[in-house]
Amino acid sequence: MSLSDNPELQPILFVLFLSFYMVTVLGNLLIILAVSSDFHLHTPMYFFLSNLSWSDICLISTTVPKMIWDIRTQSRVISYAGCLTQMSMFIIFGCMDSMLLTVMAYDRFVAICHPLNYNIIMNPNLCALLLLASVLASLVDSQVHNLIVLQFTYFNDMEISNFFCEPSQLLNLKCSEMFTKNIVIRFIGVFFGLFSTSGIIFSYYKIVSSILRIPSTEGKYKAFSTCVSHLSVVCLFYGTAIGVYIGSTASNSSENCKVASLMYTVVTPMLNPFIYSLRNRDIKTALWKLQKKAKLHNAFHHFLILSS
């Protein structure tokens, strides 16, 4: 299903989502370039941030290009194999976002609650291990969904009440077995959703407790300011993602599901670079240096052309 069947809105939606996609890819690529080009940003916090940016690019690329193509061709058909592939890739990168946000919360917990041992605890080996664990958890989540969906009989001409092959909507199809569907949704919600959210809540409980023990107001503000960007992204991502899964089991409203899906598949990946760059002095400094290098490179290139 499309976001709107009004023919007059189709060109507007095409331009709008094409702009969203380009801004998201460009913004996240700038974050990655800034982190990789500035030696001062080669820290665990920015290592995970750059991987989150990669994951955001891949997440939005699983849904928006197909939606743009559907608007352009006025066709909303997707093959059975294409639907399963889109669902699998969406789950992998959606879960990667969730796991990386949890790991970043742990990183902030160590930085604020154990500052003297930060470099020892968050060593490169642990960072690589946490990233690997995030990837493996995402693959397991994707395969669990695939194993259940593949148990369905092969179906044709089924209507999916969303603008992409959203997992909860696939599990809600009439051809699925309701008992198995409910078990899977609850298992995934408890094992993956509860694990991530409880990790973040526990980390921030320890962070807030540690910040409250800081005597000066300036110290409290400085400590909490390092968490504001991450906390904003967490609230935006988990608020909408949890709403989709809860709404899919409690309500049959496809419009609410589409709006919530739109938030965490399109809006959140687009806003992440702005949230982290606008409130982060290190990122803004790195982007300024990157812009300065680009200007110097262009000036030198023009000088060589004029000299020749």
217-250 vs 254-262: helix crossing angle, rounded to 10: 150
In order, the DSSP letters of 60-92 are HHTTHHHHHHHHHHT-----HHHHHHHHHHHHH
Q: What is the pLDDT of residues 135-153, one digit of tens each?
A: 998 898 888 878 777 776 5
Report mean pLDDT in 10-residue bins for the chain, 308 residues.
76 90 91 85 89 93 90 83 88 90 92 89 94 92 80 68 78 58 63 78 89 82 80 80 59 63 82 76 73 59 50
Q: What is the domain-level CATH number for residue 152? A: 1.20.1070.10
* Percentage of the residues of the chain whose pLDDT score is greater than 70: 78
Range of the domain at 251: 7-307
pLDDT (0 to 100) of residue 121: 92
Residue 98 domain-assigned (yes or no) = yes
Query: What's the chain's length in residues?
Result: 308
Q: Is the CB of residue 13 less than 8 Å from the CB of residue 258?
A: no
Residue 197 domain-assigned (yes or no) = yes
Residue 59 domain-assigned (yes or no) = yes
Distance, CA of 203 to CA of 211 (rounded, Å): 12
Residue 151 domain-assigned (yes or no) = yes
**Alpha helix segments (H runs only) across the chain:** 10-37, 44-61, 64-73, 80-113, 118-121, 124-149, 167-171, 178-188, 195-212, 217-250, 254-262, 268-278, 281-307
Distance, CA of 56 to CA of 46 (rounded, Å): 15
Residue 146 domain-assigned (yes or no) = yes
Domains contained in the chain, number: 1
Residue 256 domain-assigned (yes or no) = yes
Predicted TM-score (pTM) above 0.95: no
pLDDT (0 to 100) of residue 308: 53
pLDDT (0 to 100) of residue 304: 47
Distance, CA of 48 to CA of 32 (rounded, Å): 10
Residue 18 domain-assigned (yes or no) = yes
Q: Which amino acid is at 143?
A: Q
The label of the residue with tokens 């990669």 reads 54
Distance, CA of 39 to CA of 213 (rounded, Å): 33
Q: Is the CB of residue 56 less than 8 Å from the CB of residue 272?
A: yes
pLDDT (0 to 100) of residue 92: 92
Q: What is the pLDDT of residues 81-139, one digit of tens each?
A: 888 889 899 989 988 998 999 999 999 999 888 888 999 999 999 999 999 999 998 89
Residue 1 domain-assigned (yes or no) = no
213: how many CB neighbours lie within 10 A of its CB? 10
Q: Is the CB of residue 110 less than 8 Å from the CB of residue 68?
A: no
